[in-house]
Amino acid sequence: MGEGAASLTIDRAQPEDLPAIVAMFAADPLGGHGDTLDPAALVLYRAAFDAIAASPATDLFVARLNGRVVGTYQIIVTHAIVGRGAVRAILEGVQVAPHLRGQGIGAAMVADAERQARARGAATLALTSNAARLDAHRFYERLGFARSHAGFKKAL
């Protein structure tokens, strides 16, 4: 890691981290989620942040390099009837600042997500990845994730 591995920390996102988090998603050309730096959208991001912060089922984390937000991920933990009532964790919104990809930040965040999931008793950690993100697919496979399901979604 060019800027020093010892300075990488991962902790729960704070309200003041929101602009940096949104900027990473807005800069992602493959995301397709319509994220934007338009100040008019900030109220939507703040409402989502507040809902995440208030929920015992989900947490938003940031990776900091030298104190600066350079990555983020969200973990959602839920109980399922299938699997004999298994606790399952879902990894969402994994994002690393574009100029810092390939330096171990994403791997550190995924390892942290695995620790978080285990600490909550999860039997599995699942994620979805945009079909166009071939580099991300190789990344997740390198970290031990297996392709196991076909994903579907429908806009509502």
Each residue's pLDDT tens digit, 70-93: 999 999 999 989 889 999 999 999
Summarize pLDDT for 18-35 with one digit per residue, the tens: 999 999 999 887 766 788
Cα–Cα distance between 116 and 76 in angstroms, integer? 10
Does pLDDT of 37 surpass 60? yes
* Among 70, 72, 25, 22, residue whose Cα is nearest residue 47: 22
Percent of residues, the chain, with pLDDT higher than 90: 63
Residue 154 has what pLDDT? 83
Does pTM top 0.95 for this prediction? no
Residue 5 has pLDDT above 70, yes or no: no
What are 84-121's pLDDT values in tens digits? Answer: 999 999 999 999 998 999 899 999 999 999 999 999 99
Q: Which domains does the chain have, with CATH numbers?
A: 5-142 (3.40.630.30)
Task: Give backbone dihedrals phi and psi of 10, rounded to 5 degrees, phi first.
Answer: -130, 125
* pLDDT score for 91: 96
